[in-house]
Structure 1
């Protein structure tokens, strides 16, 4: 059989001409290494199409270039190299390249007191752009934590005071008597309500960063909040967690302000936008607060 040249319809001019802002692929399966762990990632890759006469781009070239990230520690240096390959393979067609990488970072977190530890996932998306202005990178990150309502804590304390008055109005107040009362079911008659909460952050990374400081950002965020969600625990850890919640009473406004101050002091950040969500246990709706710094125009 005679071998004939395969038809390339993409090589002809477009029937309907015009430049396009973005052409590429989404939901590409890609193994990524983040903080030393291999995860199942997803990629969205593309370039713009500035030649109005071109029928399309070379999508297979984008797909093959992603091999530069296979099972390699995710870094801005490697992402920049892939984006450069995108542009080199589309000379005269494109002058901007895009790459979004998403997944769930897997970090091992220690218990508060005991020697136990366990794995936690942190959903993220790294959005990178390369154009005539250079490389721009934004890291979107979600971190879970616990929040205890200051109002419910105050109301609970008031009820405990009332119960104390009822118990000891006509009874001598002694150290042993109060201690026994506090440890019984009739002592702490009310408890504050708390909820699992989330911080959603978009962080514009500083120029010149080579590595992706995702783990460092998580450490900074969890330290600022003081009530990180736990993995494997013993009772001593659960007690320490209760203490941490009691010492870090937070409305959503408090959490947002804590994070704002913490991120302002973190190296490698040029700007950020944050949103905290407290999925209330009292109400059927969420409490939400937002804040941003140096974000206009991002």
Structure 2
């Protein structure tokens, strides 16, 4: 029996579509890590293609097939391959793929060496067109910050809070770009202190005093990250954002900056 392919029939309304696809797709994937191995995690994918005015619809099953075939090779070059493969299979002008997932790193407490996993919210994205494919990598890193103003005006102590630094980078070359581990390290060094999964009493004492010795506003944190990224030839553009959940205010504080090597503007 021949089944009719309605999506392959022409459309006569003359309206091209920017994006048609799937979102909220949860899928098991293997993600490359900074040590040359792979980590199992669960990704949430959004995948789309553009449609010409004459094309009625997209074959959604092909999105899943493309992701399934590449699910064990997630990397900067891997996400670019997914976007390019999707565009070719769908015969579309452009395709977009983004995949977010938790990325776990084992961390040692600073004094006792007690070990535990910290999770970082990470994502890979790619936009493919006839002229090429653009890739971005992003990570949100939990940190601690101690308020420099509070420290300066107080007889004892200083207020501190949990915060997050988000780094989104466009690499110069997807085949040889940054990876999550390096971006996480840059973010943690730009704050007052990293956060840890396990802290014994000697570790807690160390973290408290180390943070007090390195106070940082949200402005300081994004500028510290920016300074580190601008020295890396592997970075062509970035977008940075730091947010503190203020411990003595009923609001959050944030700072953001973007930059591209194409113009040098910040």
1:47 equivalenced with 2:49 (yes/no): yes
Q: Secondary structure at the match of 1:48?
A: strand
How far apart in 2 are the matches of 1:241 and 1:200? 22
Partner of 2:19: 22
How far apart in 1 are the matches of 2:132 and 2:65? 23
Q: Alignment RMSD, CA only?
A: 2.0
Q: Contact conserved, 2:99 with 2:125, CA < 8 A, in 1?
A: yes
1:58 equivalenced with 2:56 (yes/no): no
What TM-score comes out, normalization by structure 1 length? 0.80
Say if 1:129 and 1:8 are closer, same or farther in 2 by CA, change over 3 A: same
Q: Contact conserved, 1:22 with 1:47, CA < 8 A, in 2?
A: yes
- Write out aligned runs for 1:1-298 (5 A): 4-34=1-31, 35=33, 36-50=38-52, 52-70=53-71, 72-91=72-91, 94-156=92-154, 159=155, 190-210=156-176, 213-294=179-260
Q: Contact conserved, 2:80 with 2:135, CA < 8 A, in 1?
A: no
Deviation at 1:199? 0.9
Q: Contact conserved, 2:125 with 2:136, CA < 8 A, in 1?
A: yes
Deviation at 1:193? 0.8
Bigger proportion of residues as strand: 2
How far apart in 1 are the matches of 2:205 and 2:62? 55
Say if 1:11 and 1:133 are closer, same or farther in 2 by CA, change over 3 A: closer
Say if 1:149 and 1:107 are closer, same or farther in 2 by CA, change over 3 A: same
Deviation at 1:88? 2.4
Q: Contact conserved, 1:140 with 1:202, CA < 8 A, in 2?
A: yes
Q: Contact conserved, 1:273 with 1:295, CA < 8 A, in 2?
A: no
Deviations 1:37-83 (A, max 9, x none): 21111111121112x2221122212210111232x242122222222
Q: Secondary structure at the match of 1:225?
A: coil
Q: Contact conserved, 1:119 with 1:231, CA < 8 A, in 2?
A: yes
| Higher mean C-alpha displacement, 212-221 vs 234-243 | 212-221
What TM-score comes out, normalization by structure 2 length? 0.89
The 4+ residue runs of structure 1 with deviation greater than 3 A are none
Runs (5+) with no aligned partner, structure 2: none
Q: Secondary structure at the match of 1:113?
A: coil
Q: Contact conserved, 1:142 with 1:201, CA < 8 A, in 2?
A: yes
Q: Secondary structure at the match of 1:127?
A: strand
Runs (5+) with no aligned partner, structure 1: 160-189
How far apart in 2 are the matches of 1:215 and 1:29? 23
The structure that has the greater radius of gyration is 1
Number of aligned positions between the proteins: 258
How far apart in 1 are the matches of 2:231 and 2:111? 28
Say if 1:267 and 1:144 are closer, same or farther in 2 by CA, change over 3 A: farther
How far apart in 2 are the matches of 1:109 and 1:33? 20
Deviation at 1:17? 3.0
Q: Contact conserved, 1:225 with 1:259, CA < 8 A, in 2?
A: no
